Structure 1
Amino acid sequence: MKSSYKKILIIAGIVVALVLIWFLFIRKKEEPVVLQTQKPAKGYIAQSVTATGRIEPVDTVTVGTQVSGIIKYVYADFNSKVKKGQLIAELDKSLLQATLDQARGTLLNAQSQLVFAQNNFGRQNLLFKTDAISKADYDTALNTLNAAKAQVKSAEAQVRSAEKNLSYADIYSPIDGVVLNRNVSVGQTVAASFSTPTLFVLAKDITKMEVEANVDEADIGDVKSGDRASFTVDAFINDQFAGTVEDIRLHPSVSSNVVTYTTIINAPNDDMKLKPGMTASIIIYTKEVNNALLIPAKALSFTPDSALMKDYEIVGKVGHKGNKKRSGGQGGNAPAGSAGNGGANDNSQALHTAKSRKDSSGVNKQTAIVWVLQGKKIVRKKIQTGLNDNTQVEVLSGLTVDDAVITGVTGGSSSSSTAAAKPGASPFMPQRPRGGGGGRR
C-alpha cells in the first residue's frame, strides 16, 4: 500500500515538474500587439507602360547602282565615316567607255551627214528659185536636211546617255554618315536590270538613335507624343537611357493575334553606347505626379479584427471578408472589408485608371478605406486615391501628413491580423525600378 502511494506521489511530482518546465521555459509567451503605422509623405509616383523594341538609326540611306558591271574598287568598309560626295566604290568602266565611244562616233557621222545635207539643200534651193528644178526635187532636199538634223539630235542624246551611265560607275556617298553595312566586294558582279542592287547602307548620324517600341493595343491609348521614356539594353544592363516619345505610327503589326503599334522614341547617343539592332526594354511614363501625398499600398489591405479590441477602441464599421463590395460603389455605406481582403481585389482592378493631375477634367478618383491610429483609437477613414503602383498609393483627399496610417500588426495570437496586413501586390510579380511603377502587365 505504501509502495503504491509512493508511486503516485512520484508520478504527480514528475507531472508537476514537467508543467513547471513547460510554463517557465518552453511555453511561448504571447507577444504584445503592436500596430505598424506610417505617416503620409510627399513623393513621386508614376503610371507607365512597358514594351520591347529595337535600337535603330534615325535616318538610314541605302546606296545602290543604276548600271550593271563588275566591282573594281571599294573605298569604304564597315563603320567607315564618309562625307557627302565621297567616292566609296567604282565599277569596271571598260564596257561603258566603249558604249560612249560608239555613241560619239555615231554623232560624228550624223554631223557629217548634216553638213552634206545643208550644202545640198543650199544648191537645190538656188536652182528651185530659178525654176531649174521641180518642186519635188526641192522637197526631197529639204526632207534630207531635216532628217540629218534629227539624226544629230538623236546621236547627241545617245552620247549624253552613255556619259551618264559612265558616271554611274562611280558610287558616291549621298550623305555624311557611317557605313553600317557593305554588301559587295571587289570582283563581284552587280546586275541592275530588274532592281537596284544594294551596295552600302549608311546611317546619317549615330549620335542620335531612335527606339522602335512595339506597344500593345491595350496600352497604346495612354501613350502620347512627348511622354518621357527610359529603357535598358542587354549590353549595358546597369545603365538606364532616357528618351521621349516622338511619334506613334498608325500602321499596326499583328503577330500571333497580338496587335501592336510601333512607337518611335528618340534616344540621344552622345556616348556611342547604343548600337543599331540592340534589343531594348522600354518603360513609357504615361502619368507622372511629383510632390504627391503617398501612403503604402498595404494600408489599403489592413482591416482590424476583434483581437485588437482588448487594447484599442475601434471607431467605425468593420467589414467582413464574406461581404465584398466595391469601395467606390456605396459611398459612405461601403464596408471596411472593401479595403481588406475583398477590397484588395477591387483596388487591383482599379490600378492605373486615374488620369494625370494635369488633366483638370475627368480625373478618375478611387474610393478606399484606411485605418488611422489616434492614441488608443483605431479610426476608419474613407479616402480618395489616384495612382497606385502596388507599392505606394497617391492620396487625393481624406488624409493629412500628420495622420498615422495603420499598415499592419505584429505580435498577438491572431493570425488574421498579420494576414490582413499583407500588401495587395503579388510577391511573384516583377518589381519595377523607381519611376516605373504603375505599368500595365
Structure 2
Amino acid sequence: MKTKGKLLLGVLILAGLAGAGAWYLGVRGEQDPEKRYRTMPAERGEVTQTVSANGTLNPVVLISVGTQVSGTVKKLYVDFNDKVKAGQPLLELDDALVSASERQSAATVANARASLDLAQANEARMKALLAQEFVSKQEYDQASQVLKSARAQLAQAQAQNSRDQANLGFTVIRSPVDGVVIDRVVDLGQTVAASFQTPTLIKIARDLAEMRIDTSFAEADIGSIREGQKAKFTVDAFPNRNFDGVVQQIRLNPTTQQNVVTYNVRISVANPDHLLLPGMTAYVTIGVQQRQDVLLVPNAALRFKPAEAVDKKPDSPAATPPAGAAGKNGKKRDSQRATVYVLADGKLQPVSVQLGITDSRNTEVVGGELTAGARIVVGENSNGSKPPSSVGMRMF
C-alpha cells in the first residue's frame, strides 16, 4: 500500500507540473505581443568604440632635490605648496664641520705656497751658482726637482680647498627649477646623511599647468591605441566633469602581473586652472574607432531571446544564439553575426544582422536584413499577466 501511495503521489505531482506548464505557455501565447515586448526603433547615428583603463595623474617634471653633504638641517626656507624660483634657497645645513675643513685646506694652500716660494728662490740661486761653476749639475737638478714638487703640492692643496669650498656651498640647498614644492621630507633639526646615496629632501613639480596620466592598458587593447588619439577621463574629485587629453606615448616595456600583460600609455593633459592635483586617480577612455551615420542596434536587443526561441531545437534558425552580440562591457565577441528580433504585423520575427564596432549602448550594423525604423525587441514587459514563477513550488 505504501508503494502504491508513493506512485500515486508522484503521478499527481507530475500532472500538476504539466498542467502549470501548459497554463504558463497558454497565457504567454495568448498575450498581445504589442504589450508583452519592449521595443526600440532601429535608427541611424554615431557610434564610438572605446578602450578604458585607470591611471594616476603626475607632474610632467618632478624633481627630487637632495644633498651631497651630510649635516643637520639648520634653516628651512620653504614649505608645502610654496612656489619657488630657480636658484632660490630651500634649506640650509649646519656648516660647522664643512667650514672647518675648508679653513684647514686653505691653511694647507698657504703652507704649500710658502714652500713653493722657497723652492723657486733656491732654484734661482742654484742656477746662478751653476753658471759660475760653484755648484755641481746634480745639486742644481735637485733644486729643480724640489721646485717641481712644491708646485705639485700647491696644486693638490688648492684642489682640496676647492672641494671644501664646493661642499661649503652645498650646505645651502637651492631649487634647480621654477616650480611648486609638493613634498618636504625633512624637518628643522633633522640630521641627513649622504655617505652612500643622496637622500631626498624636497620634491618640486616644475609646472602643474601641464600634467600627464600614466595608465596600464591590457595587451588586447594596445593594438588599437595610437599616439595622438584623443582621450577623455574623469576623477573622483569632479565626478560630473569630463577632462580631455591626448595619447602622448606608448611605452614598449611590458609589465606582467598574474600572467596579465599590460603596457604603460602616457596621456598628456592641460591643467590651466590647476584643478587636477598630483596623485589623483583618473578613469581614462580612449576612442579607437568611430562611425557616423550608420544603422545602430541597441546592445540589449543583442542579448534578448524570447522563451519560445529557447524551447526550439538548437538547429532552428530562430534559436541561433546572437554570437556577435555585444556584452555588458560594450566589447564585441569573436563572431560578427547575430540575431535580433523585431515586431512586424503583430508578430515576433528573427532578423540576422552582421555587426561592426560597438560601445556600451549601441552596435553598428554593417549587413543583414535589418532596416531603419524597424521595431527591435529589447526585452519583455513585467505586468500582472505574467505567470508566477512559483506555481510548481505551491504544489507542496
- TM-score by shorter chain over 0.5: yes
Indicate conservation of the 8 Å contact 2:326/2:363, yes or no.
Answer: no
Q: Secondary structure at the match of 1:193?
A: coil
Per the alignment, residue 62 of structure 1 pairs with 64
> 2: distance between equivalents of 1:404 and 1:101?
94
Per the alignment, residue 80 of structure 2 pairs with 78
Q: Secondary structure at the match of 2:223?
A: helix
> 1: distance between equivalents of 2:267 and 2:207?
16
> 1: distance between equivalents of 2:348 and 2:258?
52
Per the alignment, residue 216 of structure 2 pairs with 214
Return closer, same or farther for 1:237/1:378 CA change in 2, 3 Å cut-off: closer
TM-score, normalised by the number of residues in structure 1: 0.70
- Aligned residue type for 1:133: V
Q: Does 1:393 align with 2:363?
A: yes
Residue 160 of structure 1 deviates from its aligned partner by 1.2
- Aligned residue type for 2:361: T
Return closer, same or farther for 1:227/1:324 CA change in 2, 3 Å cut-off: farther
Q: Does 1:125 align with 2:127?
A: yes
Q: Choose which of 304, 319, 322 in structure 2 pairs with 1:337.
A: 319
Indicate conservation of the 8 Å contact 1:59/1:203, yes or no.
Answer: yes
Q: Does 1:347 align with 2:325?
A: yes
Return closer, same or farther for 1:219/1:193 CA change in 2, 3 Å cut-off: same
> 2: distance between equivalents of 1:97 and 1:133?
47
Residue 377 of structure 1 deviates from its aligned partner by 8.2
Residues 238-387 of structure 1 mapped to structure 2, 5 A cutoff: 238-300=240-302, 321-323=312-314, 335-338=317-320, 342-343=321-322, 345-348=323-326, 352-353=331-332, 366-370=336-340, 381-387=351-357
Indicate conservation of the 8 Å contact 1:319/1:336, yes or no.
Answer: no
> 2: distance between equivalents of 1:81 and 1:272?
13
Moved more, 202-211 or 42-51: 42-51
Q: Does 1:202 align with 2:204?
A: yes
Q: Secondary structure at the match of 1:224?
A: coil
Residue 371 of structure 1 deviates from its aligned partner by 5.5
Return closer, same or farther for 1:257/1:402 CA change in 2, 3 Å cut-off: closer
> 1: distance between equivalents of 2:378 and 2:185?
65
Indicate conservation of the 8 Å contact 2:324/2:336, yes or no.
Answer: no
> 1: distance between equivalents of 2:378 and 2:181?
61
- Aligned residue type for 1:149: R
Residue 289 of structure 1 deviates from its aligned partner by 2.5
Return closer, same or farther for 1:41/1:116 CA change in 2, 3 Å cut-off: same
Return closer, same or farther for 1:301/1:239 CA change in 2, 3 Å cut-off: closer
Q: Choose which of 103, 106, 118 in structure 1 pairs with 2:105.
A: 103
> 2: distance between equivalents of 1:88 and 1:408?
65
Return closer, same or farther for 1:321/1:189 CA change in 2, 3 Å cut-off: same
Q: Choose which of 149, 155, 166 in structure 1 pairs with 2:151.
A: 149
Per the alignment, residue 237 of structure 1 pairs with 239
Task: Deviation per CA, 1:31-54: give whole Å up to 9, x if none.
Answer: 543276544323222222232222
Residue 124 of structure 1 deviates from its aligned partner by 0.7
> 1: distance between equivalents of 2:342 and 2:82?
67
Indicate conservation of the 8 Å contact 1:365/1:384, yes or no.
Answer: no
Residue 114 of structure 1 deviates from its aligned partner by 1.2
Residue 199 of structure 1 deviates from its aligned partner by 0.8
> 2: distance between equivalents of 1:214 and 1:110?
62
Residue 222 of structure 1 deviates from its aligned partner by 3.0
> 2: distance between equivalents of 1:32 and 1:380?
18
Moved more, 91-100 or 53-62: 91-100
> 2: distance between equivalents of 1:410 and 1:144?
108
Residue 191 of structure 1 deviates from its aligned partner by 1.2
Residues 23-38 of structure 1 mapped to structure 2, 5 A cutoff: 32-34=32-34, 38=40
> 2: distance between equivalents of 1:218 and 1:231?
20
> 2: distance between equivalents of 1:301 and 1:101?
84
Per the alignment, residue 175 of structure 1 pairs with 177
Q: Choose which of 70, 89, 92 in structure 2 pairs with 1:90.
A: 92
> 2: distance between equivalents of 1:255 and 1:59?
28
Residue 302 of structure 1 deviates from its aligned partner by 6.3
> 1: distance between equivalents of 2:115 and 2:304?
106
Indicate conservation of the 8 Å contact 1:303/1:336, yes or no.
Answer: no
Q: Secondary structure at the match of 1:218?
A: helix
Task: Deviation per CA, 1:381-410: give whole Å up to 9, x if none.
Answer: 543320233532212234686442432687
Q: Does 1:407 align with 2:377?
A: yes
Task: Deviation per CA, 1:192-229: give whole Å up to 9, x if none.
Answer: 11111111011111122222212233333333323332
Aligned residue-pair number: 355
> 2: distance between equivalents of 1:90 and 1:410?
74
Residue 61 of structure 1 deviates from its aligned partner by 0.3
User: Which ranges of structure 2 fall in alignment gaps of 5 or more residues?
Assistant: 1-26, 387-396
> 2: distance between equivalents of 1:300 and 1:235?
36
> 2: distance between equivalents of 1:291 and 1:58?
39
Indicate conservation of the 8 Å contact 1:68/1:190, yes or no.
Answer: yes
Provide the aligned C-alpha RMSD in A.
Answer: 3.5
Residue 252 of structure 1 deviates from its aligned partner by 2.8
> 2: distance between equivalents of 1:369 and 1:247?
40
Task: Deviation per CA, 1:48-102: give whole Å up to 9, x if none.
Answer: 2232222211210000111111211110101111111111111122222222222
Residue 273 of structure 1 deviates from its aligned partner by 2.3
Q: Percent identity?
A: 40
> 2: distance between equivalents of 1:185 and 1:97?
22
> 1: distance between equivalents of 2:260 and 2:379?
44
Q: Secondary structure at the match of 2:286?
A: strand
> 2: distance between equivalents of 1:324 and 1:171?
79
Q: Secondary structure at the match of 2:79?
A: coil
> 2: distance between equivalents of 1:237 and 1:105?
67
Q: Secondary structure at the match of 1:161?
A: helix
> 1: distance between equivalents of 2:380 and 2:83?
66
> 1: distance between equivalents of 2:75 and 2:360?
62
- Aligned residue type for 1:141: A
